[in-house]
Structure 1
Amino acid sequence: MDTLNYHHLRYFREVANDGNLTRTAARVNLSQSALSTQIRTLEDRLGHALFDRVGRQLVLTEVGRIALDHADRIFGTGEELLAVLQGAGAASQPLRVGALSTLSRNFQMRFLKPVLGSSETPVILKSGSDTVLFDALTSLALDVVLTTEAPSRPEMTAHRIAEQTVGVHGDPSRMGYAHLKDMLVQEPLIVPTDNSIRTGFDSLIARLDVSPRIVADVDDMAMVRLLARENVGLAIAPSVVLADEIASGRLKTAPFDLNIVESFFAVTVQRRFPHPVLETLLRAPLQA
């Protein structure tokens, strides 16, 4: 199949927005017959009429309206491209964010809060494994990747944007312990499989010489939050994961220091034309 001729499409768009062939021909510096030929050639290529003539006016057919919608998007994208490369109006381009599928949704919301709901900076959010997301970042399909592990790839820069202590959180009825060791022995536990948290937790129970009752090994922080809310057990997690429940009093944080810290990273690659709002997000303190 032959490709679409975008010169024909541009002339069609000009006529469609003007509604008058003679006036458009004069404006684009073509003869009326030459402009008519351009439109007929596009109609032949598409296999449908694009205009109905009503008196001296050209009125779009149903196919014409569909074609104009696509033409506006096609040439609008081209105009945005020029604006981005010239540094003008660049903030309207979408911010493409990748987030580790197991990452806390609350953390993602806090990072993106300065731009969420902004008509000037639409957000495209994709989740997945670190390998998939980092490959997309390298190919420039993403602007930034949010994760809890700094990558070892030399072409990437890991910005440590937050650090949270990991605590024990759960229903207030489970909090009546004077010692951490007693709590870990007596209460059922929900433990993330996140590498840094799990490594710290394993070191903790070895140091305390306890064999805890783990009722859920979970690779998704959203599920950790849900299980804790349902009082399945006590959650070993950063407080950001359960921030809403803790603030409302539905869940409580035990007064024990686990000596476990979770780091959050925003990973980027060097680009000649980085997204204009990205630097602001990397420097902004996370909002509650």
Structure 2
Amino acid sequence: MADLNFHHLRYFWAVAHYRQLTKAAEALHISPSALSIQLRQLEDRLGHALFERKNRRLELTEAGRIALEHADAIFKTGQELLNTLKGVPTQSRPVLRVGAVATLSRNYQIGWLLPLLKEESLGIRLVSGQMRELLSQLANHSLDVVLANEAAPRDTAAGWISRRIAHQSMSLVSRPTDAGRRKVRVLRFPDDLQDQPLILPSQDSAVRLAFDLILEEAGVRPQILAEVDDMAMLRLLARETGALALVPPVVVTDELKSGLLIERCTLGQLQENFYAITMRRRFAHPALRSMLGFA
């Protein structure tokens, strides 16, 4: 109700907690008669009686109890707003709203979130999607941070800030052969990739563009079995096909530990970067201030 008078609601809230008109009027520094008029105006606006008198005390009606629940929530939220803007911790459990680009490694997301999940006083809301839609949600304050494997587009008007929070060398991994289980042969990059079946990130990836350039300059022509923009799918294809796959090791952490996949070559010249993208805001989320190290 856009035209609800919140002064009237505050008066009602005080009377509901004091249960006596006189005491509530003293606390509000107005006369009992003026307070009574304000209550009647609120009741008229809501269309329901909020109190009934029993043994010289005011008792809430059913409508009054419903109104008090909402009034409690409204004024609690108002106090939390003031505390947040003053930098004072609130008693309620704050929520950190995190967006993650759909192509970002799930293992990396879990590793980034684990320290936050251990904070019992903090709630986490995680959503995934395409970069464009996540940045839109970040701009309209629906998200506090976006995790991505690429920086946000350079747009000073938008106010996006991309912080590189981690990086990792890319690797070529594959299923081990029976011989490979006894002794892993390290590939010579890029020479040994001639005619090799490969599973690669899509051409939208900065890492893929750099990888293609190295092979082009060396005159090496591999067999490209698949181009995948989803790291989870790339991991599954590496497990099931036996072909070489270009991934950051964090994507296949469990497979490398179990021996289901082996690292055939580390490509130090190719780096996968991980970014935390935020907006220029005066009131940053406290959890981000500590994790990302900005005031």
* TM-score (structure 2 length as normaliser): 0.77
What whole-Å deviation, never above 9, does each CA across 1:211-257 have from its counterpart, x for those lacking one? 32423x32222333444455575542112222233334443332443
Range 126-135 or range 175-184, more displaced: 175-184
Equivalence for 2:162: 158
2:253 to 240, 243, 246: 243
Equivalence for 1:28: 28
1:120 is paired with a residue of what secondary structure?
Answer: coil
Equivalence for 1:271: 281
User: Given that residues 168 and 253 in structure 1 are in contact (C-alpha distance below 8 angstroms), is that contact kept between their aligned partners in structure 2?
Assistant: yes
User: Given that residues 164 and 275 in structure 2 are in contact (C-alpha distance below 8 angstroms), is that contact kept between their aligned partners in structure 1?
Assistant: yes
Q: How far has the Cα of 1:163 moved from its partner?
A: 0.6
The answer to whether residue 44 in structure 2 is matched with residue 44 in structure 1 is: yes
1:4 is paired with a residue of what secondary structure?
Answer: coil
Equivalence for 1:112: 113
1:209 to 220, 223, 226: 220
User: Given that residues 193 and 221 in structure 2 are in contact (C-alpha distance below 8 angstroms), is that contact kept between their aligned partners in structure 1?
Assistant: no
Equivalence for 2:75: 75
- Say how many residue pairs are matched: 282
2:291 is paired with a residue of what secondary structure?
Answer: helix
2:117 is paired with a residue of what secondary structure?
Answer: coil
User: Given that residues 190 and 233 in structure 1 are in contact (C-alpha distance below 8 angstroms), is that contact kept between their aligned partners in structure 2?
Assistant: no
Equivalence for 2:205: 195
1:115 is paired with a residue of what secondary structure?
Answer: helix
Q: How far has the Cα of 1:125 moved from its partner?
A: 3.3
**Amino acid aligned to 1:211:** P
Q: 1:232 to 1:53 in 2, by over 3 A?
A: farther
**What is the alpha-carbon distance in structure 1 between the residues aligned to residue 31 and residue 276 of structure 2?**
56
Range 160-169 or range 181-190, more displaced: 181-190
What whole-Å deviation, never above 9, does each CA across 1:35-59 have from its counterpart, x for those lacking one? 3333333233233344455543513
Q: How far has the Cα of 1:149 moved from its partner?
A: 2.0
2:132 is paired with a residue of what secondary structure?
Answer: helix
**Amino acid aligned to 2:144:** D
Equivalence for 1:96: 97
Q: 1:85 to 1:32 in 2, by over 3 A?
A: same
User: Given that residues 174 and 187 in structure 1 are in contact (C-alpha distance below 8 angstroms), is that contact kept between their aligned partners in structure 2?
Assistant: no
2:147 is paired with a residue of what secondary structure?
Answer: strand
Where does the alignment leave 5 or more consecutive residues of structure 2 unmatched? none
What whole-Å deviation, never above 9, does each CA across 1:62-101 have from its counterpart, x for those lacking one? x444433332232222212211222211696433333323
Where does the alignment leave 5 or more consecutive residues of structure 1 unmatched? none
Query: Greater CA radius of gyration, 1 or 2?
Result: 2
Equivalence for 2:272: 262
**Amino acid aligned to 2:88:** A
**What is the alpha-carbon distance in structure 1 between the residues aligned to residue 286 and residue 247 of structure 2?**
33
User: Given that residues 193 and 222 in structure 2 are in contact (C-alpha distance below 8 angstroms), is that contact kept between their aligned partners in structure 1?
Assistant: no
User: Given that residues 102 and 221 in structure 1 are in contact (C-alpha distance below 8 angstroms), is that contact kept between their aligned partners in structure 2?
Assistant: yes
**What is the alpha-carbon distance in structure 2 between the residues aligned to residue 111 and residue 265 of structure 1?**
11
Equivalence for 1:169: 173
Q: 1:276 to 1:125 in 2, by over 3 A?
A: same
Q: 1:246 to 1:30 in 2, by over 3 A?
A: farther
Q: How far has the Cα of 1:4 moved from its partner?
A: 1.2
Q: 1:152 to 1:19 in 2, by over 3 A?
A: same
Equivalence for 2:84: 84
**What is the alpha-carbon distance in structure 2 between the residues aligned to residue 260 and residue 276 of structure 1?**
34
User: Given that residues 197 and 237 in structure 1 are in contact (C-alpha distance below 8 angstroms), is that contact kept between their aligned partners in structure 2?
Assistant: no
